[in-house]
Chain A
Amino acid sequence: DSGVTQTPKHLITATGQRVTLRCSPRSGDLSVYWYQQSLDQGLQFLIQYYNGEERAKGNILERFSAQQFPDLHSELNLSSLELGDSALYFCASSATDRDEETQYFGPGTRLLVL
């Protein structure tokens, strides 16, 4: 158990819909990262937040957005969903935003768009 929790574990929805994935980092960790893992793209970095502020952006679509709240939990919002958005979405946390910090991953949310 990494100490990172993600809800829900599974999500099935239809194209065009909007969903929100939630992540609670390890106690004391200030950085939260979101990743998408799909069969054809592998593990892709989406976005990083540090202490409530966006720190780095990766391959995140404009239809996707995220935020980190004062209690440090984070939400990833996916809108206008497409079939290709079906994937495993991981959240990870680390203590700081230093490059050498180990990231601890949550169990993931499996999203299926029908």
Chain B
Amino acid sequence: SQQGEEDPQALSIQEGENATMNCSYKTSINNLQWYRQNSGRGLVHLILIRSNEREKHSGRLRVTLDTSKKSSSLLITASRAADTASYFCATDGKSNNDMRFGAGTRLTVKP
């Protein structure tokens, strides 16, 4: 069963705009990771945020984590057409050994 749930399911924006995707999860976690997947291809790791961290930056990516609300957000600033992909959050739970993925947000950036 899935742990994370991303919203929105789909997001369409213009190049240069910011894109914000949210992820909610159900159980306590050790860390949360965001992955990107181009259509039908492997997942690429973007960023990991630990349960004791609140915010993390990597280039144009900003991730926040609110463990009290069991939610995380991924912000992509100054989006580019090449950012078009599906974005998944994955949680590493404290009570299980497996990493669980949400259904993903499909981001389309129009040139």
Number of inter-chain CB pairs below 8 Å: 61
- Tell me the bound Cα distance from A57 to B96 in angstroms: 9
A104 in contact with B45 (CB, 8 Å): yes
Whether A108 contacts B44 by the Cβ 8 Å rule is no
CB-contacts of A32-91 with B (<8 A): 33, 35, 42-45, 48, 55-59, 88, 90
Is A22 among interface residues, defined by CB-CB distance under 8 A? no
Q: Is A103 interfacial (CB-CB < 8 Å)? A: yes
Which of chain B's residues has its CB closest to A2's CB?
B42
- State whether A108 touches B1 (Cβ < 8 A): no
Report which of B30, B50, B100 forms a contact with A45, defined as CB distance below 8 A: B100
B94 to chain A minimum Cβ distance, whole angstroms, is: 8
B43 contacts across to A, CB distance below 8 A: 43, 90, 92, 105
Q: Are B99 and A105 in contact (CB under 8 A)?
A: no
Report which of A45, A88, A108, A110 forms a contact with B98, defined as CB distance below 8 A: A45
Q: A99: which B residues are within 8 A, CB to CB?
A: 30-31, 92
We find that the number of chain A residues with CB closer than 8 angstroms to chain B is 27
In the complex, the answer to whether B98 meets A100 with C-beta atoms within 8 Å is no
Cα distance, A55 to B40, chains bound together (Å): 28
Shortest Cβ gap from A80 to chain B (Å): 23
A15 at the interface (CB under 8 A from B): no
Asked whether B98 lies within 8 Å of A58 as measured between CB atoms, the reply is yes
Question: Does residue A102 face the partner (Cβ distance < 8 Å to B)?
Answer: yes
- CB contacts under 8 Å to A, within B72-111, are 88, 92, 96-104
Q: Is the CB of A42 within 8 A of B96?
A: no
Q: Are B99 and A33 in contact (CB under 8 A)?
A: yes
Which of A42, A59, A88, A107 has the largest number of chain B CB atoms within 10 A?
A42
Q: A42-B102, A108-B40 are in contact. List 16 more A-B contacts (CB 8 A).
A: A2-B44, A35-B101, A43-B2, A43-B88, A43-B101, A45-B99, A45-B101, A55-B97, A56-B97, A56-B98, A90-B43, A99-B30, A99-B31, A100-B31, A100-B92, A105-B35
Which 6 pairs from chain A and chain B are nearest by CB? A56-B97, A43-B101, A105-B42, A45-B98, A105-B43, A99-B30
